[in-house]
Amino acid sequence: MRAYLLDSRDTGPRLADLPPPPAPGPGELTVEIAACGLNFADLLMMKGQYQDTPAAPFVMGMEAAGTVTAAGPGTTTPPGTRVAVFSGQGGLAEAGNFREASCTPMPEAMSFAEAAAFQIAYGTSHVALGPRARLAPGETLVVLGAAGGVGLTAVEIGARMGARVIAVARGAEKLAVAEAAGATVLIDAEAPDLKAALKAEGGVDVVYDAVGGAMGEAAYGALKPGGRFLVIGFAGGEQPVLKLNHALVKNLEIHGLYWGGYLKLDPELLKGSMAQLFAWYAEGGLRPHVSAQFPLAETAEALEMLRARRSTGKIVVTPQAAAAAGR
């Protein structure tokens, strides 16, 4: 089978021919992979900079979707079940063996491409805005990187939760995507004074920062007393420097959110969160935005698009292209 393999940080990833997965062991499922969603963390793994980078060599691809073709001893998921998979690795391949606990049956109406783009992005935003930030109806939420993979889901979920959503993104095209997802105030990331622009909107209650750097610092400065700052990631390449004396004086809260860490910290919270998100999707309340799809042979090009931040929403690679297009 074909797979996108990272031999080492020095050589970088490559498309490789590997043996097909063996018969699944106890608690494992063999999944024919139709689609794999790309994440910023994939770029960090290539450099060995991600907190959960597996030991090389490994097949890249953190989240995927496909069809169960074989079930190991002790499992209850029958072959033929369509599943979304969060494994941390192994998704950029035509097939793989995964723990049954990492595989979740998909809603009937959800395509494989949507499922591959769903878990990390929507899961991050739902846990961040709900349990962590306690976003309330009528509050003002600003989303930095609002047209990106996680940012766009924060716009969508924030609007669903009844917040007034301010989207910050680069350029009219990306801002239009954020507006379609539910943002009511649009600010170009190239605005000369983001802090002043946010204060002119009355300030903000919650900052969702997936960008970092000066943009995160500016949004932090626009928080109202009692505001909450969510550290989601540093897609801009730099961490924001947050003045803790402001947190003291204004009673601010700073929350870090690493979705994958909840697999150990509170797996039941993640299970309940994903059940709610899949239910919202089934009701028609969530619309995953996949802006580009690439075949497995063009994974390098897909990762470059992600690195250059030329996409909106999610990029998906389709090891089994025909299957990915189906339901």
Domains in the chain: boundaries? 2-118+288-324, 120-260
CA dihedral 210, 213, 216, 217 (to 10 degrees): 160
Label residue 12 by pLDDT band (50, 70, 90): confident
Label residue 264 by pLDDT band (50, 70, 90): confident
Label residue 110 by pLDDT band (50, 70, 90): very high
Cα–Cα distance, 174 to 210 (Å, whole number): 15
Residue 114, token pair as written in the block:
């949507």
Asked if 9 contacts 90 with a C-beta cutoff of 8 angstroms, the reply is no
Label residue 325 by pLDDT band (50, 70, 90): low
Q: In CATH, which superfamily holds the domain spanning 2-118+288-324?
A: Medium-chain alcohol dehydrogenases, catalytic domain (3.90.180.10)
CATH architecture of 120-260: 3-Layer(aba) Sandwich (3.40)
Distances (CA, A) of 13 to 6, 24, 55, 121: 4, 26, 13, 24
Grouping H, G, I as helix, E, B as strand and the rest as coil, residue 217 is: helix
Residue 171 clears pLDDT 70, i.e. is over it: yes
Cα–Cα distance, 226 to 80 (Å, whole number): 50
Who contacts 295 (Cβ-Cβ below 8 Å, separation ≥6)? 317, 318, 319, 321
To which residue do tokens 């979705």 refer? 259
In 113-250, the DSSP E strands lie at: 140-144, 164-169, 185-188, 204-209, 223-231
Residue 55 CB: number of other CB atoms within 10 A? 5
pLDDT score of 250: 97
Asked if 120 contacts 91 with a C-beta cutoff of 8 angstroms, the reply is no
pLDDT score of 10: 83
Taking the whole predicted model, whether its pTM rises above 0.85 is answered as yes
Q: Please report the sign of the dihedral spanned by the C-alpha atoms of residue 20, residue 120, residue 104, residue 288.
A: negative
Q: Please report the sign of the dihedral spanned by the C-alpha atoms of residue 247, residue 248, residue 251, residue 253.
A: positive
Whether 2-118+288-324 shares its CATH topology with 120-260 is answered no
Residue 262, token pair as written in the block:
């909840």
Residue 321 clears pLDDT 70, i.e. is over it: no
Cα–Cα distance, 56 to 14 (Å, whole number): 13
Residue 57: asked if its preceding bond is cis (omega within 30°), the reply is yes
pLDDT tens for 187-212 read 999 989 999 999 999 999 999 999 99
Crossing angle of the two packed helices 172-180 and 151-160, in degrees rounded to 10:
40
Higher pLDDT, 260 or 113: 113
